[in-house]
């Protein structure tokens, strides 16, 4: 596996490949890789001639400096894992490579409600930071296809909207969430859970599954309240939001008239670890 860390190296490497029409599958990550990330790499590998993974902890998508400082950084283990699944290129630039002028860039797009609800509401500026870095990474790596996990459903919707509005020449491929055997969605943040918190964490997915069972049978508002109550039965979890929203606009549903579009979304704290998850309900 090739390891590149500067724009210049990447440009030199990628230009001949784009010129000869090599299909490039790109998986952007922030590292601390796990099976969830590797499933995206495997899919990219199956569908493209070259697979490229980036590891970059993007400072401008963290609205909480403490969260940024605590984000796990495990580049040498990440490289070994990528090598093992047959990734062709690891791109791990430093912040000065991607933000040579500092981090004050902006990107004005019509996000609709995408950056105002749920993650957008509770993490102001987060999606703008994500969109800026992904757009930059696309322009550096020239992917044919880029792979994003449904685990970050709202992020996927934001990226799709950006690609559509800027008419970027890349196909976005959504990939299913990979879970631990007990249902907990894999996340780099799980590493920070205490043993006791880790034992409680699967309740998030359990309740999402129960919500899927009840969806369409009781009013949306009642189901939402039920879910929050059910999770809060565990004193060590604090629900930040629980919403049932439209799969594209993410706008909260008021009834089940468009039920085939319904997705349940949750963000919850266990101690100071913030976990998110979601489930398509139909
Ligand atoms: P991150 O490193 O957290 O920014 O994630 C990089 C990519 O991996 C994003 O597209 C995530 O949605 C995806 N991802 C993270 N966790 C999972 C998971 N458990 N299953 C599938 N994809 C995931």
For the chain, 282 residues long, the average pLDDT of each consecutive 10-residue run is: 98 98 98 98 98 97 89 95 98 95 84 95 94 97 98 98 97 98 96 96 98 98 98 96 97 95 98 96 98
Query: Atom 8, ligand 1: which residue's CA is nearest?
Result: 37
For the 188-280 domain, the top CATH level (class) is: alpha beta
Give yes or no for a contact between 270 and 237, defined as CB atoms under 8 angstroms apart: yes
CA distance 79 to 269: 30
Query: Atom 6, ligand 1: which residue's CA is nearest?
Result: 29
Atom of ligand 1 nearest to the CA of 151: 12
CA 35 to ligand 1 centroid distance, Å: 9
What pLDDT is stored for residue 103 in this prediction?
Answer: 74
SS3 annotation, the chain: CEEECCHHHHHHHHHHHHHCCCCEEEEEECCCCCHHHHHHHHHHHHHCCEEEEEECCCHHHCCCHHHHHHCCCCHHHHHHHHHHCCCCEEECCCHHHHCCCCCCCCCCCCCCCCCCCCHHHHCCCHHHHHHHHHHHHHHHHCCCEEEEEHHHHHHHHHHHHHHHHHCCCCEEEEECCCECCCCCECCHHHHHCCHHHHHHCCHHHHHHHHHHHHCCCCCHHHHHHHHHHHHHCCCCEEEEEEEEEECCCCCECCCCCCHHHEEEEEEEEECCEEEEEEEECC
Atom of ligand 1 nearest to the CA of 31: 2
37 is catalytic: yes
What pLDDT is stored for residue 257 in this prediction?
Answer: 96
CA 111 to ligand 1 centroid distance, Å: 22
Please tell me which residue in 34, 37, 126, 142 is annotated as part of the active site.
Answer: 37
CA distance 231 to 233: 5
Which of 26, 27, 28, 29 for a ligand 1 pocket mutation test, highest count of atoms within 8 Å of Cβ? 29
CA 153 to ligand 1 centroid distance, Å: 10
Atom of ligand 1 nearest to the CA of 147: 10
What pLDDT is stored for residue 128 in this prediction?
Answer: 94
> Tokens 């919707």 appear where?
157
This prediction has a pTM of 0.97
Give yes or no for a contact between 43 and 18, defined as CB atoms under 8 angstroms apart: no
Indicate the domain borders of the chain: 2-175, 188-280
Q: How many other CB atoms sit within 10 Å of the CB of residue 277? A: 22
Shortest CA distance to 105 belongs to which of 93, 95, 115, 118?
95
* 262-270 and 237-246 beta bridge pairing: antiparallel
Residue list, ligand 1 pocket, CB within 6 Å: 29-30, 36-37, 39-40, 148-149, 151-152, 175, 177-178, 185-188
Give yes or no for a contact between 266 and 274, defined as CB atoms under 8 angstroms apart: no
Two structure tokens written together for 138: 């696309």
Q: Which residues fall within 8 angstroms of residue 268, CB to CB, at 6 or more apart? A: 204, 231, 237, 238, 239, 240, 274, 275, 276
CA distance 95 to 90: 16
CA 218 to ligand 1 centroid distance, Å: 32
What pLDDT is stored for residue 3 in this prediction?
Answer: 98
The architecture of the domain spanning 2-175 is: 3-Layer(aba) Sandwich (3.40)
CA 29 to ligand 1 centroid distance, Å: 7
């Amino acid at each position: 596996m090739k390891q590149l860390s500067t724009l210049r190296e990447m440009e030199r490497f990628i230009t001949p490949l784009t010129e000869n029409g090599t299909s490039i599958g790109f998986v952007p990550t922030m590292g601390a890789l796990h099976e969830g990330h590797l499933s995206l790499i495997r899919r990219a590998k199956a569908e493209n001639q070259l697979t490229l993974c980036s590891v970059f902890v993007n400072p401008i998508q963290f609205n909480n400096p403490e969260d940024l400082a605590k984000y796990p950084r495990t580049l040498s283990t990440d490289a070994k894992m990528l090598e093992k699944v047959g990734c062709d290129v690891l791109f791990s630039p430093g912040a000065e490579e991607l933000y040579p002028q500092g981090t004050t860039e902006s990107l004005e797009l019509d996000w609709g409600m995408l950056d105002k609800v749920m993650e957008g509401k509770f993490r102001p500026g987060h999606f703008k930071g994500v969109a800026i870095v992904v757009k930059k990474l696309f322009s550096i790596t020239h992917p044919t296809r880029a792979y994003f996990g449904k685990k970050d459903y709202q992020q996927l919707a934001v990226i799709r909207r950006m690609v559509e509005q800027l008419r970027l020449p890349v196909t976005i491929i959504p990939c299913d969430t990979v879970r631990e055997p007990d249902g907990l969605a894999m996340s780099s943040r799980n590493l920070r859970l205490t043993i006791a918190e880790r034992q409680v964490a699967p309740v998030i997915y359990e309740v999402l599954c129960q919500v899927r069972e009840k969806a369409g049978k009781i009013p949306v508002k009642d189901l939402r309240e039920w879910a929050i109550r059910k999770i809060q039965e565990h004193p060590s979890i604090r629900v930040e939001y629980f919403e049932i929203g439209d799969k594209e606009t993410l706008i909260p549903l008021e009834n089940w008239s468009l039920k085939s579009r319904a997705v349940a979304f949750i963000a919850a704290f266990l101690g100071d670890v913030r976990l998110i998850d979601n489930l398509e309900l139909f």
